């Protein structure tokens, strides 16, 4: 089954929310990404300059999700595959991008559901570790990630030179016991 297929989506539907896989260039994804960028501008004073392409989020090397309430897009998030490079990524990384929840839908566990669906999809696709960047102007994001099992890691990618950036990582596979 393709990563992010029907089983994943049915696992994250409930009576209030529906989470759908969409392309990163889908109009709802574009709208929510623009709102996320506006939030970054407001909080940081600059937007996320990371180059992103819709194909980065195509299964099996990625996934982009949009959550809907009554057919209105209210949240999004995605992951894209990364491999070891000079910017600090490791082989098997899945990088979380564009996690965003509109203000009126915050505080209801929606970001956590999207994050869990992204982790499940990345794991199914054979990714080893989830990585992400957030920053000190987003304390609620840092709280979400740490409460979801993410730990601080060295800054990677274009965030290496930013003092307000905070990078996090979480293994997607249980470590094998070496004790006998």
- The per-residue pLDDT for 180 is 41
pLDDT over 90 (residue 78): yes
- The per-residue pLDDT for 179 is 44
pLDDT band at 6 (very low <50, low <70, confident <90, very high): very low
- The per-residue pLDDT for 163 is 87
Write the pLDDT tens digit of every residue in 104-128. Answer: 999 999 999 999 999 999 999 999 9
Please name the residues in contact with 4: beta carbons below 8 A apart, sequence gap of 6 or more.
21, 59, 63, 65, 117, 121, 124
What are the chain's domains? 6-127 (3.40.630.30)
Burial of 104 (0-12, 13-18, 19+ CB in 10 A): exposed
């Amino acid at each position: 089954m393709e990563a992010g297929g029907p089983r994943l989506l049915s696992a994250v539907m409930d009576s209030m929310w529906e989470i759908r896989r969409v392309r990163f260039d889908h109009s709802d994804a574009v709208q929510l990404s623009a709102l996320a960028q506006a939030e970054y501008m407001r909080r940081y004073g600059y937007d996320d300059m990371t180059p992103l392409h819709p194909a980065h989020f195509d299964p099996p090397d990625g996934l982009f999700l949009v959550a809907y309430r009554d057919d209105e897009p209210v949240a999004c998030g995605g992951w894209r595959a990364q491999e070891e490079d000079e910017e600090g990524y490791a082989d098997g990384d899945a990088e979380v991008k564009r996690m965003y929840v509109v203000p009126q839908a915050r505080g209801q566990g929606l970001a956590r559901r999207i994050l869990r669906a992204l982790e499940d999809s990345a794991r199914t696709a054979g990714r080893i570790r989830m990585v992400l960047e957030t920053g000190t102007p987003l304390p609620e994001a840092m709280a979400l990630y740490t409460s979801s099992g993410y730990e601080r890691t060295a800054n990677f990618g274009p965030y290496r030179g930013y003092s307000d950036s905070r990078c996090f990582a979480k293994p997607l596979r249980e470590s094998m016991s070496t004790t006998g």
